Amino acid sequence: MDIGAQYGPLRAEIDRAIAGVLDSGRFILGPEVSTLEAEVSARMEGRPCVGVANGTDALVIALNALDVGPGDEVITTPYTFYATAEAIARLGAVPVFVDIREDDHCIDPSLVEAAITPRTKAILPVHIFGHPADMTPLRAVAEAHGLPVIEDSAQAFGAADGGRPVGALGDLATISFFPTKNLPGIGDGGMVVCRTEELADRVRRLRFHGSRDKVVFEEVGYNSRLDELQAAVIRIFLRHVDGWNDGRRAAAAAYEAAGLGELMTLPAERPGAHHIYHLYMARHPDREAVMAALKARGIAAAVYYGIPMHLQPVFAHLGYKPGDLPVAETCADTALALPMHPHLTEEQVAEVVDAVRSVNRVVAG
Ligand SMILES: Cc1ncc(COP(=O)(O)O)c(C=O)c1O
């Protein structure tokens, strides 16, 4: 990340937005939040959007809005941030992990049907690293079994599948505005995108203690609200997110043009998909050597999801063993996030590629 390059030019605008909120005296669920909800909705084919406290709460509330509870099963991917699976378990339901596709790192739709049981309550794909899950076959399986789909869009704001925006492709979708996300806030924040007004009504009620009016409490809910300061700043970033995503795509193209594909397995973009490269995950059989070579040159690189969810201690009771979900496990063992942000220069890309090339020379003997 390069926070300075990204936010520096916007600093005066951000300062004015923060001062405006302070002057307004409205701090929680005020006009900035409702305007942000409307602005995001306009990008989500008009679907109602509901701001919440963070992307994890967005998942818990979305699942709760579908009445997911103890004994239910939710089919999801093992190759994701823990929050996806945690939200399922938080409601007492069981995450059922289905392996991923090697090319896009998302849940493999062809394996979903075999995982459906009478207890299955929902399917929860993740648009991981900014690449949309393959929603057309996923929706077909879901529809055939009458199951709702929740899209975890925490890493993919602005990505699209078949020309349609992720977030508007399922029954519910969740967004995170965590500061490292491609549409960030300056603290925690999240949103739920809803296919129907009825679902949005339930989500709004759940985010505020299960009440519509602070007088009558209809169900056990949450205190999970987006605050005005976050919304005011996210609104500024929203105007830039497409340009930033274009910058990320340009950086990905630069990695390819610089020959990285001869040295590592590059992240793929499925035909019809619009990848926004929230993270640039490339694979190498000797990942540790690549990391060491980058580190030696002062270049940051990071492993994401080195232990896939089905092998995490918290889910040991579910009985998964190493080897059960081989594609996810291979990716967990070999994938590395290389530098990726909207302002990455060709020189920086060349430096990274050069460092990786030095490893391949050693590996090749
Ligand atoms: C795939 C995924 N889902 C959910 C979350 C949770 O979002 P938050 O950190 O806003 O709670 C994150 C990010 O942290 C994420 O990457």
CATH no., domain 241-363: 3.90.1150.10
Residue 77 near ligand 1, beta carbon < 6 Å: no
pLDDT for residue 308 is more than 60? yes
Residue nearest to atom 7 of ligand 1 (CA): 55
Q: pLDDT-based confidence at 6, cuts 50/70/90?
A: confident
pLDDT for residue 1 is more than 90? no
Mean pLDDT of the chain: 96
CA distance 13 to 36: 16
CA distance 353 to 344: 13
Residue 182 near ligand 1, beta carbon < 6 Å: no
Q: pLDDT-based confidence at 3, cuts 50/70/90?
A: confident
Own/partner pairs, 66-71, CB within 8 angstroms, 24+ separation: 66/121, 66/122, 66/148, 66/150, 66/171, 66/172, 67/121, 68/93, 68/121, 68/122, 69/93, 71/119
pLDDT for residue 365 is more than 60? no
When computed from its CA atoms, the radius of gyration of the chain, rounded to whole angstroms, is 21
Q: pLDDT-based confidence at 8, cuts 50/70/90?
A: confident
CA distance 225 to 37: 12
Residue 7 near ligand 1, beta carbon < 6 Å: no
**Where in the chain are the domains?**
3-238, 241-363
> Ligand 1 test: best mutation among 52, 81, 153, most atoms within 8 Å of CB?
81
Ligand 1 centre to CA of 1 (Å) is: 17
Ligand 1 centre to CA of 55 (Å) is: 5
Instruction: State which CATH number among 3.30.420.480, 3.40.640.10, 1.10.1060.10, 3.40.50.300 fits the domain covering 3-238.
Output: 3.40.640.10
**DSSP letter (8 states) at residue 74:** E
The pair of three-digit structure tokens given for residue 65, joined into one six-digit string: 């809005």
